[in-house]
Amino acid sequence: MSATAVHSLWTMAGGVTSAAPVEKFKAPVIEYTQLAPVLIVIGVAVVGVLVEAFVPRRARYYTQVFLTVVALAAAFAAVVGLAAGGYGTTKAHIAAMGAIAIDGPTLFLQGTILLTSLVAVFTFAERRLDPASHGNHVDSFAAQAASVPGSDSEKAAVKAGFTTTEVFPLVLFSVAGMLVFPAANDLLTLFVALEVFSLPLYLLCAVARRKRLMSQEAAVKYFLLGAFSSAFLLFGIALLYGYAGSVSYAAIADVVDGSVTRIDPALADTMGNDVLLLIGGAMILTGLLFKVGAVPFHMWTPDVYQGAPTPVTGFMAAATKVAAFGALLRLLYVVLPGLAWDWRPVMWAVAIVTMLGGAIVAITQTDIKRLLAYSSIAHAGFILAGVIATTPDGISSVLFYLGAYSFVTVGAFAVVTLVRDAGGEATHLSKWAGLGRRSPLVAAVFAVFLLAFAGIPLTSGFSGKFAVFKAAADGGAGGLVVVGVISSAIAAFFYIRVIVLMFFSEPKADGPTVAVPSPLTMTTIAVGVAVTLVLGLAPQYFLDLASQAGVFVR
């Protein structure tokens, strides 16, 4: 190319030519105040990474615990501030150039995720359950995660008293992704948030101090199946982009409704093609149902719950479900309401097999963590009944159920960390026989959580199930409620079987002991019991709160 041609191209690009004027680049408008909860958590997570690099090893644990608790508390205060400022109701809008929706469901779910994470982090910080090793306190995590299990380097790390304090910044990164996931207002933001909260969880599952090989196996299973679900989601996003010419929720909803007049010439052949819509929508739903743990995408749940360190299991079981159901609600109620006739029958089928599958298979379990995993699958089915209602009550009942369920779950897994034998946590059900006689308080607290899972009146589980089933019945899904009640009856059998085992069996002479925790785990369990009883005895204020928060901004 000649020098003059290059010069003319350069002057045209610079806007010197007399041809059509070049548009000026507009800087993005970011509402930092409304994104404060996410920014606080991400900012402190980055600081936590720097702490690992620069703070002396012996001071890292206290620094990380302090930073993590402050970050989660400050982010929750920011959520409360936004809700008090009317951003959940009258000022609800789309922020960050259309990427994030700030509305009632977003703030309610973010508040639930932050409170649940704050309570769960106390179990991460617990260091009194295992006997001291070489004069050092130990926690639930590997002394040096990079060393091969059983190797000399691992033994040297244990002897030196190393601790894996990197778990705290990893938790914060995961929480940041979870905060964005239910608030995402376009499909690319949804995908990025999914990866941001999933990748730290894959790592956290692999760093158990005891049973390290089982922990690493759980992490690999979770990672491989998680990669499949991400691939489904991403391919679905590509198909929906081809269908609508946009990744924005509102734009896709407009094309689904048929209210779009301007067609992008580049996509004229594919825009409005229903095959792309149906296949793309199904693939995105597959990715989200995997995170929720619904049948038939539940295969990872029991293995991962059993193999991961129990504090991580509790955090993941509670917070991931809240984030994933939030994203599922927004997708179905904001993007695909015009497609309800197509997705409702499919979700009916998924909800039925999830409720029955989780409840029936749980009866056969002999490990307490696997039992709670199948219990969580059944609960995903109950929550789906509220999602299928497609009414404002459906949204608010799901929000309430998620809030109630998350605290019961964290509390239950915190109790599991206390029952120990020489090999660490005693999770086999036979070891729990006679626990009520050996440690009446711990057994009574666990019984409260099990009764809440079973949906017995005067617990949060009953209030949540009643709200969800009522919304489903009002929304025309009466058959689903019948299946839900039958599943609840089946589930009640194995919860009550554990209670009978604890209180009406003779304790074995070589049975496990109940460790005396520090105030950290005590706080987690106490908060779990308090929320379970308050939401069971006086749920009306929180049901009203959920119904006020149950309106999506479009």
* pLDDT, tens only, 125-145: 888 887 777 777 888 788 888
Measuring CA to CA, which residue among 70, 49, 51, 47 is closest to residue 60? 51
| C-beta of residue 330 within 8 angstroms of C-beta of residue 182 | yes
**Confidence band for 12, pLDDT divided at 50, 70 and 90:** very low
Q: What is the mean pLDDT of residues 486-500?
A: 92
Instruction: Please report, for residues 198, 231, 267, the alpha-carbon distance to residue 224 in angstroms, rounded to integers and kept in the order given.
Output: 12, 11, 34
The b-or-e profile of 69-108 (16+ CB within 10 A means b, else e) is: bebbebbbebbeebbeeebbeeebebbbebbbbbbbbbbb
Is residue 157 predicted with pLDDT exceeding 90? no
Per-residue model confidence (pLDDT) at position 29: 84
Per-residue model confidence (pLDDT) at position 268: 65
* Residues contacting 463, CB < 8 A, separation 6+: 400, 404, 535, 536, 539, 543
Residue 445 has what DSSP assignment? H
| C-beta of residue 517 within 8 angstroms of C-beta of residue 137 | no
Is residue 499 predicted with pLDDT exceeding 70? yes
Cα distance between residue 65 and residue 22, in whole Å: 52
Q: What is the mean pLDDT of residues 512-520?
A: 87
By CB atoms closer than 10 A (0-12, 13-18, 19+), residue 180 is buried
285-342 residue pLDDT tens: 999 999 998 988 888 999 999 999 999 999 999 999 999 999 999 999 998 888 888 8
Cα distance between residue 474 and residue 389, in whole Å: 7
Q: What is the mean pLDDT of residues 232-245?
A: 92
Measuring CA to CA, which residue among 449, 532, 455 is closest to residue 486? 455
| C-beta of residue 91 within 8 angstroms of C-beta of residue 85 | yes
- Helix, strand, coil share (%) of the chain residues, nearest 5: 70, 5, 25
Cα distance between residue 534 and residue 408, in whole Å: 12
Take residue 65 and report the two structure tokens written for it: 């615990």
Is 248 in a helix, a strand, or coil? strand
Mean pLDDT lowest for which of 90-94, 263-267, 491-495, 542-546?
263-267
366-423 residue pLDDT tens: 999 999 999 999 999 999 999 998 888 889 999 999 999 999 999 999 999 999 888 7
Is residue 258 predicted with pLDDT exceeding 80? no
Take residue 15 and report the two structure tokens written for it: 């806007």
Per-residue model confidence (pLDDT) at position 267: 65
| C-beta of residue 223 within 8 angstroms of C-beta of residue 202 | yes
* Residues contacting 189, CB < 8 A, separation 6+: 99, 100, 180
Cα distance between residue 490 and residue 356, in whole Å: 8
Per-residue model confidence (pLDDT) at position 224: 94
Is residue 201 predicted with pLDDT exceeding 60? yes
| C-beta of residue 207 within 8 angstroms of C-beta of residue 216 | no
- Higher-pLDDT residue of 9, 447: 447
Measuring CA to CA, which residue among 34, 49, 112, 119 is closest to residue 414? 119
* Residues contacting 263, CB < 8 A, separation 6+: 245, 271, 272
189-200 residue pLDDT tens: 999 999 999 999
Average pLDDT, the chain: 88
**Confidence band for 173, pLDDT divided at 50, 70 and 90:** very high
Dihedral angle over CA of 36, 38, 42, 45, nearest 10: 100
54-103 residue pLDDT tens: 999 889 999 999 999 999 999 999 999 999 998 888 888 888 888 999 98
Cα distance between residue 228 and residue 230, in whole Å: 5
pTM: predicted TM-score of the whole model, two decimal places: 0.92
Cα distance between residue 110 and residue 407, in whole Å: 14
Cα distance between residue 212 and residue 29, in whole Å: 47
105-119 residue pLDDT tens: 999 999 999 999 999
Is 256 in a helix, a strand, or coil? helix
Cα distance between residue 421 and residue 507, in whole Å: 14
Is residue 428 predicted with pLDDT exceeding 80? yes
Cα distance between residue 427 and residue 434, in whole Å: 14
